[in-house]
Structure 1
Amino acid sequence: MLDVRRMQVLRAVVTSGSVTAAAAHLGYTPSAVSQQIAALEKQAGTTLLERSGRGVRPTAAGRLLTEHAAVIGRHLAEAETALAELRAGRTGRLAVRYFATAGAALVPPALARFRREHPDVRVDLRLVDPDDPLPEVERGEADLAIVVRRRGQARDGVRLVHLLDDPYLVVLPRAHRLAGARVLDLTDLADEPWVGSEPAGPCREAVLDACGAAGFSPAVAVESEDYPTTQAFVAAGLGVGVVPRTALDSPHPDVVVRPLRHPRPVRAIHAAVRETTLDQPALRGLLDALRHAAAARH
C-alpha cells in the first residue's frame, strides 16, 4: 500500500524541482527526503524521479502519483476543515429520543432555540413511547434521550441531567363532590375509582410510590395509557385521574384540575447522555436549550 505521507513528499519534490528545495520547504534534511522517495519507489515498484540538470523531474509514474497526491491533499484539507467544524459544534447530527408529553412541553421550544444557535446541525427526533430509550443512549444509537427517572438513578457511563420536576395534578369530573376544593390531599382519592393514566414504568412508579406513602393503593376502574383519553374517561364520570402538569396544557372542558399534596406525586424528567459525549459543543448546546425550555415552565 502506498504511503500517503511519502506521496506528499514526492509532490513537494516535483513542484519545487529538487530534493534540496523540497527539504527546505518541508523542514527535513535532503537525506531524509531522499529516503522517503526511495521507500515510496520500493512500494510503487518503479522509479518515480530522474535527474534533470541540477534538479529532478518525475517519470510517468512520478507524475501520476504527484497528481493523486494533490487530490489527496485537497481531500485531507477538506476533512480537517469539516472536523474542525464538527468539533466546534457548527455541523453534525444529533439523534434524540423523547416521550410524548416531553415532546410537547420541552422539545419544540428547545429545538427552536437550538436551531437558531446551531443552524447546520441536524437533529433526528424519534418518539419512543412507551419504550425506554435509555438503552439506545448506552449503545450509542442515540445521543440524547428525555427520560423519567428518580434523581441519581443512572447507569454506568450515562449522565442524567435534571431538567424538570413535573408534579401530578388530580383531574375530576366537574360535578364531582371534591371539585370545589382548592387543593386535595392524596388520601382524599383513596376510596375513589381511578382512571389509570400511566403504562408500567417510571411514571407509574412515581404515582404508586406516592400512594403507598399515603397508605393506600389506587383502585383502577379503567385503564388509559395516554393523557387525553384519561381526561375523556374522567369527564364521562368513570373515575378520577392523576396526570402530570406538562400533560395538562389543554385540559378537557368537562373536567376540573386541582393540585395534590401530602404527598404530591412528582416525576423527575432528565436528559440522558453518555459521559463520553459531554464535551461535544453541539450536544452541550442542546442540553442548554432543554434547560432553558424547562426553566420557562416554572
Structure 2
Amino acid sequence: MKDIFQLNLRHLDALLVTGRSGSMSAAAREVNLSQPALAQAIAKMERVLGERLFDRLPDGAAPTAAGKVMMVRVNRALRYLVHGGRLVRRSARLAPLPHIERRVTMVQLRALIAVEGNSSYVQASELTGLSQPAVHRAVRELQDILGMDLFVRVGRIVRPTDVASRFVRFARLMLAELRAGVEEIGAMSTGEAGRVIVGILPSARAIFFSELLARFTTAHVSAAVKVVEAPYRELLTSLRQGDIDLIIGARRNPSPHREVVQEELYDDDPVVVGRTGHPLQGKTQLELPDLLAYPWVISAPGIPLRTKWEQIFLSRGVEPPRLRIECGSVLVTRGLLLQGDWLALISRDQFLFEHRAGTLTEIGDLGKELRRGIALTRRRDWMPTPLQADFVRRTHALARERREGVV
C-alpha cells in the first residue's frame, strides 16, 4: 500500500484544478505556482502513485483514466477538509478560512491525528517517525492556521479539545478518500488490488460471516479483508470517521446517527441455550417460573439483545432477575454454560458446533418477541471502491439466500 502521507495537499489541489481547466498554465496561475513547479508537482504525484495522471497535449493536459479516478477522490477528500475547517471555525465564531487545503500540510494532519489518538506527543512521534520537536511544531502551526487551541495538558497526557476531535474526524475522512483513490488506481493495473475493512458484531460472526468471507476471498484472490471486532460504539465511531468501511451486526432501532444507513440483511431468532442435561432440557413449553429459577448470563445494558431479554420479563409483569454475570463475549458465554445450569440467549448459528458435539442444547424458543434484524451499516455519503461495492453486493446476495432458505 502506497503511503498517502507522501502526497502534498497543495499539489492535490493543483491536480484537481489542472484536470478541470485542461491547462497547466491556467492551473498554475490559479494555485499560485509557476508552470514548471506545477509540472514537477504532478510528476511527483505520478511517481508516488505509480500511474500517469495526465496526457500532455499540445494545447493542454487531459486526465488519464487513473487521473479521472484520482480527481473524483481528491475532490471528495478536499471537501471533507474544507467542511471540517469551516465547522471548527464556526464553532469558535471565527470567519471562514479560505482555501484551507492550500494552507495546511500532510505533516500537520498526520501529527494532529497521532497526538489526538494517543494523547501523547512522545507516542505520536514514535508512531509517525517524526521527531518530537517536529510533532510539536506541526501541531502548533495547525493551531495558528485554525486560530484555536487543539490540546490541553492534563498531567502527563494531552487531551484534545472538542474542536480537535471534530476536525480529526474530517481529516480521517479525507485520508480515507485518498486511500480509496490509491486502491482504485492500483486495481486498474493489477486487477485485484484493494482492501475491505469490516466491523463485525457477535450476532453475525458465526456461520453467515464465515461463509461471506470464504466466497469473497475465493472471487478476489489478491484482495485483503481486515476484520475488526470491538464494542458497537467503537465500531460506529470508526465507521463515521472512515477508519472502517462497514459494520455487520444487529440492527439498531432507532438508527444510531443520521450520517449512517442500516441496510437490512436477514432476521435472527435468538433462543434460550443451556448445557446438555440442563434441568429444563426437554420441557415442551417454558413458563415464567422456569425463566426465573436459573442464573442467566446476558450482555451489558444498551445492547439490543439485552433489551429484548429484559422485555421477556417486563411484558409478563415482573422485574428481570438480577444478573450475576454480564458478558458480551459469545466465547466466554458458551464456556460458562458448560460449567453449570446457566441460561443464555444465543443465535442458533453461534452454538452450532457445540450443539453438534452434544455439549450445548436449545432449551426453548420464546417466539418472535426475540427476533432481531441483522443489518449492514455504512456511512450515508460513502462511495465504495469497486472491490468494496462487490463485497456489499455479495453480502446482500448471501443474506437473500439465507432468507429464502438456500443456505
Structure 1 residues 285 and 148: alpha-carbon distance in aligned structure 2, compared to 1, 3 A threshold: same
| SS of structure 2 residue aligned to 1:97 | strand
Report the secondary structure of 1:159's partner residue.
Answer: strand
1:195 maps to a residue whose letter is: W
Aligned to 2:318, the other structure's residue is in SS state coil
Structure 1 residues 90-99 or 136-145, which shifts more? Answer: 90-99
Q: Tell me the distance in 1 between the aligned counterparts of 2:332 and 2:42.
A: 64
Provide the C-alpha distance between the structure 2 equivalents of 1:70 and 1:207, rounded to a whole number of angstroms: 59
Selected match of 1:230 from 327, 333, 338: 333
Q: Indicate if the aligned counterparts of 1:196 and 1:223 stay in contact, CA closer than 8 A.
A: yes
Question: Please, what TM-score do these two structures have when normalized by structure 2?
Answer: 0.49
**Which residue of 290, 312, 319 corresponds with 1:217?**
319
CA contact (8 A) 1:86 1:92 kept: yes
Q: Which residue of 2 aligns with 1:86?
A: 184
**Residue 290 (structure 2) pairs with residue 189 (structure 1):** yes
- The Cα shift of 1:169 comes to 1.0
Structure 1 residues 29-108: aligned runs within 5 Å: 75-77=52-54, 79-80=66-67, 83=70, 86=184, 91-108=193-210
1:134 is aligned to 236
> Does residue 1:250 correspond to 2:237, yes or no?
no
Q: CA deviation at 1:272?
A: 0.9
Shift of 1:162: 1.4
User: Secondary structure at 2:352's aligned position in 1?
Assistant: coil
Q: Distance in 2 between matches of 1:189 and 1:151?
A: 30
User: Structure 1 residues 208 and 296, CA, compared in 2 at 3 Å: closer, same or farther?
Assistant: farther
Q: Are residues 118 and 254 of structure 1, via their aligned partners in 2, closer, same or farther at CA, if it must alter by over 3 Å?
A: closer
Rounded Cα–Cα distance in structure 1 between residues aligned with 2:52 and 2:198 = 31
Unaligned 5+ segments in structure 2 are 1-9, 55-63, 71-180
Which of residues 265, 277, 283 is equivalent to 2:382?
Answer: 277
- Rounded to whole Å, the distance in 1 between the matches of 2:205 and 2:359 is 25
Q: Secondary structure at the match of 1:156?
A: coil
Q: Which has the larger radius of gyration?
A: 1
Q: Which residue of 1 aligns with 2:126?
A: none
For 2:257 and 2:211, locate their aligned partners in 1 and report how far apart those are by CA, in whole Å.
Answer: 28
Query: Match for 1:261 among 348, 352, 366?
Result: 366
- The offset of 1:133, in angstroms, is 1.1
Aligned partner (choices 198, 202, 211) of residue 299 of structure 2: 198
5+ residue gaps, structure 1, are 9-27, 45-61
State whether residues 193 and 218 of structure 1, in contact with CA within 8 Å, keep that contact through their aligned partners in structure 2.
no
Q: Is 1:241 aligned to 2:344, yes or no?
A: yes
Work out the CA distance in 2 between the residues paired with 1:132 and 1:214.
34
Conserved? CA contact 1:192–1:239, under 8 Å:
no
Pairs aligned (count): 250
The answer as to 2:269 corresponding to 1:292 is: no
**1:91 offset after TM fit, Å?**
4.2
Change (3 A) 1:186 1:280: farther
Match of 1:17 in 2: none
Q: Give 1:160 deviation, angstroms.
A: 0.4
User: How far apart are 1:156 and its partner, in Å?
Assistant: 0.8
CA distance in 1, matches of 2:376, 2:295: 30
Shift of 1:124: 2.2
Contact 2:297–2:342 (CA under 8 A) maintained in structure 1:
no
Q: Which residue identity is paired with 1:80?
A: G
Match of 1:22 in 2: none
Question: Hey, which of these two has a bigger chunk of helix by percent?
Answer: 2
Bigger relative CO (Cα 8 Å, ≥ 6 apart): 1
Give the drift of 1:271: 1.3
